[in-house]
Structure 1
Amino acid sequence: MKHLFFCFALMMSCLAAAAQPTGTVRGVVRSEGKEVPFASIGLKGTTLGTTADEHGSYVVPNVPAGSYRLVGSAVGLLPTERSITVTAGQTTTLHLSLNPGPNALGDVVVSGTLNEVIRSESPVAVELYSPKLFRKNPAVCLFENLTMINGVRPQLNCNVCGTGDIHINGLEGPYTMVLIDGMPLVSSLSTVYGLSGIPSSLIERVEVVKGPASTLYGSEAVGGLINVITKNPAKAPRFSADVFATSHRDVNLDLGVARKIGAASTLLSTNLYHYNQRRDVNNDGFTDVPTQQRVSVFNKWTWARPEQQVASLAGRYYYEDRFGGQLNWSPEHRGQDSVYGESVYTSRYELLGQYQLPVRGQKILLSGTFNQHNQNSAYGTTLYKAVQRVGFGQLTWAKELSIRHNLLTGATYRLTWYDDNTPATASVGPNDTRRNAPDLVQLPGLFVQDEWRLTPDATLLLGLRYDYNSRHGSILSPRLNYKWGRPDGSQVWRVGLGNGYRVVNLFTEDHAALTGARQVVVPEALEPERSWNVNVNYNRFLQLPGGATLTLDGSVFYTYFTNKISPDYDTNPNQIIYRNLDGYAISRGLTLNTDLALSRPLKVMLGVTLLDVFRQEQPLEGGPRRRVAQFHSPPFSGTWAVSYTWEKLGLALDYTGQVSSPMALPVFPNDFRPGRSPWYALQNVQVTRKLREGLELYGGLKNLFNFLPRYALLRPFDPFDKNVGVDNPQGYTFDTSYNYAPIQGRRLFLGVRYAL
């Protein structure tokens, strides 16, 4: 009888619920603008709910009229709640936005340890940036994209041809190693021009490590490294296109096609850039921005193998024709002394591959790269023709020795062949005859690394690398990293101590050695630079009321250099003198990144860097050592990106920019130009309209307040120094190196982006 009564009551309650007026709730679940597949949706305090489909769309039918709290959750993301009122007979639409948690599964990094690891678990502090950040202020190449990263400063080194390099924490470009898929493809010669040829369409993510990384990566990784991870062909859009143009009449086009062919997947990506306007807003008779015609073609293949073993092969071809100079220059003036121009033809081939050996139960990875960089340049009457070939091979073995010890060992070999038409590759034979002698450097190396989990919350990383440079002999590079963090990843401390070294080739790294009118003087054989660095990093993740999140990431660093090589512009105004520093150099400071994501569609990213970069050197004339500030290293700099999204309208607004304090600049004795730059900020605004799934229209303003630097060139009316002795009491000569910001004013841009 009791069971019959229970069944009757249950039936009556179901009939009552069926008779109650109901409505429907639907929407889309997103995280940082991307749909979240298979998210869980539920009405708090009820048994009503559903699971989103593969596109993040959900529908909850037959919801009784009334007010509820709608809850959305997904693996690796923080749950969120939103209030909703359901009206009988109607469909209520409510889109949900989930914020990443401290242990989001997508935050996997490899640059710190050469092993894939969740970012919060890495004992090495690794900053991770996705193309979504770069799309907030679209640029034509990676070099310009990096302006949005705090502590990373793309620096233009020549106001005529627009060459540049990337500074990390105030250190010059040659101290930064640029990797593609973890391999050193961007060789020293291409740091000047090759960075412009990495299109945004290739990038899956960018990982940044600040501080020496020579233990794993060898020479050049002294100031830090930038690892560009390219897209996986198996996961890339089947077709993608991104084209935009500006009011200065430059056009950039990115195209990508991905296909699966049997067990293989392939991605073909092409970048085209065209700018052919000779603008001269500052009226000095020279182009403000160099003209460029550029093409880059990239093809990557991956193969599906048992146990997800790695097999990939990729190649890239890059060509660029770049010109900057006097407005009436034409190709027949190339290398002549009648009309000044800097004309650069660059072609580059790259090949890289990875293959995991089919050894059961072992992770043995063979990696290799080869690149050839050809450069044909004319800087006024100075002709510079160079070829550099770099081959690199690496074999690594990763082994979990126990639950506490992860061992990584490896052997590397790097061969660098370089030839040019300068004295750098010339030798004197019998009877003072000069003959060509290409430079050949062999660099075999061994490294070992043990990641030791001391406790569930603490990890110690010990590493040691041995390299034998065929020119400089044996070099040891140790490292030590310690990490402590809460199990949920909400709070992490990291301490790093490491050693770095760098072997220098002036003509492939320093554009000032080739351009302008100064004579290059190298009075002694240059020894490798060495550095010691200590870095303390703190990361804090906070869950705020209302579903908002706040991420704080701060670092304090100190780097001490010996044998540092810096250009001396002051001893003789007509010379650039390069020598090993008789003294020491220091780079110290702190960085702070904040990321605030509100439950409402507002996201704020702020970054601040404080720097003190200088050298203590012995003057040639004797006396006590003097402190000399590092050029192009602002004591204060900052970046920001503020984004607001109207999901119902499909609109997004982005306000981005960078600010810089006064910095030391290279000037002549008794120079009329200020020795320090002014405070300045470059600000941008963009509006994006989502037309339909995968299709976006965007446009906005760059350099919103039209900031332009002053005094770009010295004596632009006499670029060949033919009249230096005429009405020139200070003895000034033509100079192109006085630069602290792009000479490019306000401009409109408009583009369209599509991904299938």
Structure 2
Amino acid sequence: MKIIRNGLLMVCSMLYTSVLLAQSISGKITNEDGEPIAGASIQIHKTTLGASSDAEGQYAVKNIANGTWTVRVKAIGYINTEAKLTITGKDQNKDFVLASNSSSLDEVVVSGTMKEVSKLDSPVPVEVYTSRFFKANPTPSIFESLQNINGVRPQLNCNICNTGDIHINGLEGPYTMVMIDGMPIVSGLSTVYGLSGIPQSLIDRVEIVKGPASTLYGSEAVGGLINIITKNPKNAPLLSADVFGTTWGEINADIAGKFNVGKSAQSLIGVSTFNYANPIDNNHDNFTDVTLQSRVSVFNKWNFNRKDNKVFSLAGRYVYEDRWGGEMNWSKKYRGGSDVYGESIYTKRWEFFGTYDLPIKEKVSIMFSVNGHNQNSYYGNQSFMADQYIGFLQTTWNKTIKNHDILTGVAYRYTYYNDNTVATELEASKISLPGLFVQDEISLNEQNKLLVGARYDYNSLHGSILTPRINYKWNSKDKSDVLRLGIGNGYRVANIFTEDHAALTGARKVIFEEDLNPETSWNANLNYVKKFYSSGGSVFGLDATAFYTYFNNKIIPDYETNVNEIRYSNLDGHAVSKGLTLNADASLTNGLKILIGATLMDVYSEEKGEKIEQMLTEKFMGTWSIGYTIRHLGITVDYTGNLYGPMRLPLLGDLDPRPSKSPWWSIQNIQLTKAFSNGIEIFGGVKNLLNWTPGKNAAFLIARAEDPFDKNVQWDSSGNPIPTPDNPYALTFDPNYVYAPNQGIRGFLGFRYNLFK
């Protein structure tokens, strides 16, 4: 009997123990946008129990005994989180939302070396900004979203039509290459249009390289590049929507969805619309303060499943925009006439691009892009009609031999450009640009890496162009310190009428003083990154860079020799862009995220011993993005802003009463976002909290706004305006005294929705 009793006790004990260990915790791991996180680590503290999330973000930890346990969740690129759960004999469901760590060194980047590599391992410093960063200050286009990135400034070039370009470290828009998914889809004519109409809901991240990238990407990558990476259809929501409006009457809507075609392909399609049709004249100059716009864009991307994870993707985009600004009583019946002044721009733009890995063992890829741009514009009675077509084809071969990671490639680019100005009055511009490049990334050891590369291009107009570069990277053993040094060469072939709005307004005559030669530059930059990791999972970082760029043959428009002319010639001297930039960031486990940046720079030209400060370029800029998430309420507060120092402004002569320098100015915004468990977010806030506009610091912005066709201006024998009682300052009509947005304080309200499986 004793043996039987002991046996029964043992069986009962085993049954009881099995009951205690039968409980499990399961759930889903997602990011702040509701997207599943694969490969997250879930660990029961002080035990060996754990699991990893699958491709759908699902996880399950089994055989957990009764008691109170701490569950810890970790994932690369996200802030660690934990929660205490009490197990009482029942299975539990627990979902986790991980906050992205915007400063993560483990993010994958492609822009610096044209191949996927972790941000830490890249010898070229690459800044990465996720879609969550841009949602802290929602805007109708990426062009405006870049205003909160240190060292990057969207520059408006006209008070009336509000076209503009992107400045990187003080260099104007034509020095920046803009790409979508690594494809160069934008050049001079469409710097601003290429950044409009990309549905925000389709953007995964934006990568920015500051400094010349001509070795890999050729002309136009002199000052840097902006690479917009769209979402992979596999990871995108089934349906997403992002809609908001402002108290000024602006309405923006982005709708996107994905679908599968059997097991062979996934497609992602998005539509973006923006409409603003409410003329406002708060500065009382009888001109619209903000350009009225109607824009629609359609984007479609396909990914095809292939063996061995070979890539085959195709994408296309179409943008149509109708924008106008001018006198408050302007309507389309006045378009192109001399009765009421208006600037009206119709834009049609299409793009098609793709990537295909050859079905062989070697890593050989073919990339292509084609785009067309039609512009039908009137600036008062001055017409500007232009067509541009660009075709690009590139083949790359990536080969690893011991500690050498070699990338070679051949590329061909064809550009057709024609307009109705003197730039192409004899014949359309047709430029063939074949090129080849080679890059060798040498891993000297675990802490040291060297990148050497060179590119040779043959421009059909200017001949041979060689652009070499060398980059060195060192990191500490624990990878908390990274030092990078880079030296490179860049070049750019200028097309005046695609770059300078002042040449199109009809307010000035364009003078070419000589045949323009390509600009060339040498750049050196030193970058240091320091990361601090707390035991609780918080991350702190510093990112500092010193840069220096030296230009030959720089083309700088001369507005001052004659107020009725813009004179173009290659600089008989040199130009310099130099400075220091610093970013500091913190991602705390309590939900606080801070990113603060500042840039000091000096951009000037020197000719015949005279140093001239570059027009419309600040010596100091600062940016910040501060967010705090109250997790148990699902509420996030975002405070974003920028601060700019004085910059030299274009005046129309010695009598012009407007300030020759801009004041210090700042645009600040605040937003509250409420996230719900069903994938819905409601957000709202205030833009331009300080209600700052440039008109508050000048008697007027648009010169001679009351006489836009210069009908009452009197001239001397040399063709210069003279002072009269009606024109005491000897001015002509000119809308180019612009350095900041002319839109005051306004509220906004919107919602987002993401539906996953």
Aligned partner (choices 680, 686, 690) of residue 671 of structure 2: 686
Matches within 5 A, 1:641-660: 641-660=625-644
> Per the alignment, do residues 179 and 599 of structure 1 end up closer, same or farther by CA in structure 2, a change over 3 Å counting?
same
SS at match of 2:147: helix
d(CA) in 2 for partners of 1:332 and 1:113? 51
Deviations 1:195-225 (A, max 9, x none): 3233323312111000011111111111000
Give the Cα–Cα distance (whole angstroms) in 2 for the partners of residues 86 and 332 of structure 1. Answer: 73
Written as runs of structure 1 = structure 2, the 5 A alignment for 1:446-457 is 446-457=436-447
Structure 1 position 442 matched with structure 2 position 432? yes
1:64/1:532 Cα in 2 relative to 1: closer, same or farther (>3 Å)? same
Q: Is 1:160 aligned with 2:144?
A: no
In the alignment, is residue 697 of structure 1 matched against residue 698 of structure 2? no
Cα distance in structure 1, aligned partners of 2:75 and 2:140: 35
SS at match of 2:338: coil
Distance (Å, rounded) in 1 between the aligned partners of 2:233 and 2:59? 26
Conserved 8 A contact 2:174-2:187: no
Contact kept? 2:417, 2:428, Cα under 8 Å: yes
Does residue 191 (structure 1) correspond to residue 191 (structure 2)? The answer is: yes
Deviation at 1:264, TM superposition (A): 1.6
1:413-432 to structure 2, matched below 5 A, reads 413-427=412-426
Give SS of 2:195's match. Answer: helix
Q: 506-515 or 231-240, which moves further after superposition?
A: 231-240
For 2:578, the equivalent position in structure 1 comes to 588
Within the candidate set 660, 676, 694, 1:675 is matched to 660
> Which among 629, 637, 662 is matched to residue 613 of structure 2?
629
The alpha-carbon distance between structure 1 residues 92 and 376, as it changes in their structure 2 partners (threshold 3 A), is: closer
Aligned partners of 2:29 and 2:95 also within 8 Å: no
Residue of structure 1 equivalent to 2:377: 377
Partner amino acid for 1:163?
A: T
State the partner residue of 1:430: none
Distance 2:291 2:538 in 1: 45
Q: Deviations over 1:423-465 (max 9, x none)?
A: 11113xxxxxxxxx11111111111111111122111111111
Judged with a 3 Å threshold, the aligned counterparts in structure 2 of structure 1 residues 101 and 453 are, in CA distance, closer, same or farther, namely farther
The answer as to 2:734 corresponding to 1:735 is yes
1:500 aligns with 2:484: no
Please report how far the alpha carbon of residue 190 of structure 1 lies from its aligned counterpart in structure 2 after TM superposition: 1.0
Q: Structure 1's 588 and 44: CA in aligned 2 closer, same or farther, altered over 3 A?
A: same
SS in structure 2 opposite 1:455? coil
Identity of aligned residues (%): 51
Tell me the distance in 1 between the aligned counterparts of 2:232 and 2:30.
22
The answer on whether the counterparts of 1:23 and 1:92 sit within 8 Å (CA) in structure 2 is no
**For residues 518 and 553 of structure 1, do their structure 2 counterparts lie closer, same or farther at Cα, with a shift above 3 Å needed?**
same
Preserved contact between residue 386 and residue 421 of structure 1 (Cα < 8 Å) = yes
In the aligned structure 2, how far is the partner of 1:153 from the partner of 1:714? 25
Please give the alpha-carbon distance, in whole angstroms, between the structure 2 residues aligned to 1:101 and 1:575: 47
Aligned with 1:663: secondary structure?
Answer: coil
SS of the residue corresponding to residue 694 of structure 2 reads coil
Unaligned runs of 5+ in 1: 428-436, 619-624
Deviates more, 1:131-140 or 1:264-273: 264-273
- Per-residue deviation at 1:483? 0.7
Alignment partner of 1:484 is 2:471: no
2:373 aligned counterpart, secondary structure = strand
Which residue does the alignment assign to 2:290? Answer: 289
For 2:628, the aligned partner's letter is Y
Residue 676 of structure 1 aligns to a residue whose secondary structure is coil
Query: SS at 1:692's partner residue?
Result: coil
Report the CA distance between 1:176 and its aligned residue. 0.5
Kindly provide the CA deviation profile for residues 311-343 of structure 1, in whole angstroms up to 9, marking residues without a partner as x: 112111111111000011111211111110000
1:727-753, CA deviations, whole angstroms, 9 ceiling, x for partnerless residues? 224321111111121111111111111
Q: Partners in 2 of 1:281 and 1:223 — Cα distance?
A: 36
Q: CA deviation at 1:101?
A: 9.9
Count of equivalent residues: 734
Q: Does structure 1 conserve the Cα–Cα contact (< 8 Å) formed by 2:79 and 2:538? A: no
Deviations along 1:110-137, one digit per CA (max 9) or x if unpaired, are 1111111111101111111111110111
CA pair 419-306 structure 1, distance change in 2 beyond 3 A: same
Conservation of the 8 A alpha-carbon contact between 1:352 and 1:369: yes
The one-letter code sitting in structure 2 at the alignment partner of 1:527 is N
**Local SS of the residue matching 1:307:** helix
User: C-alpha distance in 1, partners of 2:77/2:673?
Assistant: 27
Q: Deviations over 1:79-121 (max 9, x none)?
A: 5566x4859799998967576598765x111111111111110
Query: What is the aligned counterpart of 1:462 among 452, 458, 474?
Result: 452
Between 479-488 and 440-449, report the one with greater CA deviation: 479-488
Match of 1:723 among 705, 709, 712: 712
Q: Which segment is superposed worse, 642-651 or 213-222? A: 642-651
Aligned position for 1:431: none
Asked if residue 411 in structure 1 is aligned to residue 410 in structure 2, the reply is yes
1:147-546 → structure 2 map (5 Å cutoff): 147-262=147-262, 263-359=264-360, 361-400=361-400, 402-427=401-426, 437-515=427-505, 517-546=507-536
Q: Is the 8 A contact 1:97 1:599 kept in 2?
A: no
Query: What code does the residue aligned with 1:295 have?
Result: V
Report the residue type matching 2:668 in the other structure: Q
Deviations 1:590-619 (A, max 9, x none): 11112201110111111111111111123x
* Residue 432 of structure 1: aligned partner: none
Aligned pair in 2 of structure 1 residues 280, 451: CA closer, same or farther (>3 Å)? same
Report the AA paired with residue 595 of structure 2.
M
Aligned mates of 1:63, 1:101 — CA distance in 2: 37
Shift of residue 13, structure 1, vs aligned partner = 8.7
AA matched with 2:320: Y
The answer to whether the Cα contact below 8 Å between 1:29 and 1:98 also exists between their aligned partners in 2 is no
The corresponding residue for 2:718 is none
Cα offset, 1:520, TM superposition: 1.2
Q: How far apart are residue 71 of structure 1 and its match?
A: 3.2
Distance (whole Å) between structure 1 residues aligned to residue 603 and residue 513 of structure 2 = 25
Change (3 A) 1:414 1:45: closer
- Give the 3 Å change call, closer, same or farther, for CA 687–493 of structure 1 in structure 2: same
Question: Deviation string for 1:17-55 (max 9, x for gaps)?
Answer: 8999x9998987565665545644444334666666744
> Do 2:33 and 2:754's aligned partners in 1 also have CA atoms closer than 8 Å?
no
**Preserved CA contact (<8 Å) 1:102 1:489:** no
Check 1:351–1:44 CA distance in 2 against 1; reply closer, same or farther (3 A cut): closer
Gaps of 5+ in 2: 715-723
Maintained 8 Å contact 1:534/1:557: yes
State the Cα deviation string for residues 41-79 of structure 1 (Å, max 9, x = none).
44433466666674467788976556x654333456565
* Aligned counterparts of 1:496 and 1:637: Cα–Cα separation in 2: 23
Q: Partners in 1 of 2:17 and 2:85 — Cα distance?
A: 18
Change (3 A) 1:162 1:123: same
Q: Does 1:577 pair with 2:578?
A: no
* Structure 1 match to 2:594: 604
Superposed CA RMSD in Å reads: 2.9
Does the 8 A contact of 2:77 with 2:100 survive in 1? Answer: no
